[in-house]
Copies of this chain bind each other. A is one copy, B any other.
Amino acid sequence: MSLIIIGSVAFDAIETPFGKTDKIVGGAATYASLAASYFYKKVKIVGVVGDDFHKKDIDTFTEHGIDTEGLQIKAGEKSFFWSGKYHNDMNSRDTLITELNVLGDFDPIIPESYQDCEYLMLGNLSPQVQQTVIKRLKNKPKLIILDTMNFWMDIALDDLLETIKLIDVLTINDEEARQLSGEYSLVKAAKKILAMGPKYLIIKKGEHGALLFNEDKVFSTPALPLADVFDPTGAGDTFAGGFIGYMAKAGTINFETMKNAIVYGSALASFCVEKFGTEKIVNLTEKEVADRIQEFVNLSAFTLTEA
C-alpha cells in the first residue's frame, strides 16, 4: 500500500516583490511529496533529474520518508529548469526561462516495489506521460488525482481528454476550468467537466480558496488570509499533495473525507507561500500543522443560530 506522486523534480529561480532566489529545488512532485509526507508515511516519487541534482537534495526526500527509487538520475544531463518573475499582485507571473532538459523525453519508470500503489497523484506533466503511468500500474489505484494546466489544453487537448477519463479527481484553477469547459459559470463548468470523466473536480482559486464538486454536491474552502505572500510557487502542488496525503491516510473515499482533505491541503499550501520555494514546507512540526488546521476551522466554522 503506497501513494505514488509523479511530476517534475526541478530547479527554479524565482523573483517576487520580496526578493529573488538562485536555482533552488522545486517541481510539482517535490512540493506534493513533501506536503503528502506530513500525513502519510509511504510516499513514493516518480520523476527524472539530471546529475546536477545533488545528493543532499535527494536526502531531503529520504529524510521525509519519501521513497526515491522511481526518481531517475540521468548522467551527463541537466534537470528541468524554470525561472519566473511574479508581478506585484502575486496572481500573475512572467516565465523568463523554461529549459525542459531531462523532462523533454521523460519516460517514467515504475519500480516493482511501487506496484502496491493505492493512491496516485499525477502532477502537472504532459497528459501522455500521465497516462503512461496509469497504464504501467498493474492494479488500478483506489484514487487517482490529476493536476494539469492551460498549456496542455492548448497543445494536447485530445490527450488530456483521453487521460482525464481514467482518473477520479481533477485539480485545475478557475481560468482553466473555464477554458476546458467553455463555460464562465464555475457551476456550469463543473457539470461539463464531470461529464468528461472525473468523479470529483477541485477548482483552485488561489487567494480565494478552492471549490470541490461532485455530481450533486459542492464544498467551498477559503484560503487563509495572509499578511505577506512571499512566493506562490508550488502552492497548488502543495495543496494537491496535502490533499492526497490526507486521503491516503484516511483510507475512505467519499465527499466528506475530501472536505477534510481540502482543508488539510489548503493549510499546507498556506505555509508554502510564506517563504521562498520549499523552505517552509520542509521543516514543519506536527504542532505547526495542527495549529494551522485550527486556524482554518476558526476562519470558516460557524454555529448556525436562528436570530
Contact = CB atoms under 8 A, between A and B. Distances in A.
Interface of A: 39, 88-89, 184-188, 190, 205, 208-209, 211, 217-222, 225-229, 246-247, 249-251, 256-257, 259-261, 263-264, 293, 297-305, 307
Contacts of A222: 209, 220, 222
Tally of this chain's copies: 2
Contact of A208 (B185, B205, B299): B205
23 contacts: A39-B307, A89-B184, A185-B225, A185-B227, A185-B228, A187-B225, A188-B227, A190-B225, A208-B209, A209-B220, A218-B225, A219-B302, A220-B222, A250-B305, A256-B303, A257-B305, A257-B307, A259-B302, A260-B304, A260-B305, A260-B307, A264-B307, A301-B301
Given A246-B307, A302-B259, A225 B220 contact: yes
Q: A218, A226, A256, A264: which has the most chain B beta carbons within 10 Å?
A: A218
A229 B305 CA distance: 28
A226 B185 contact: yes
Given A217-B298, A260-B302, A304-B297, A211 B186 contact: no
A225 B246 contact: no
Nearest to A226: B187
Contacts of A305: 250, 257, 260
Contacts of A185: 225-229
A46 to B, nearest CB: 23
B300 A300 contact: yes
Nearest to A250: B307
Given A185-B228, A228-B185, A220 B301 contact: no
Contacts of A227: 185, 187-188
A226 B184 CA distance: 11
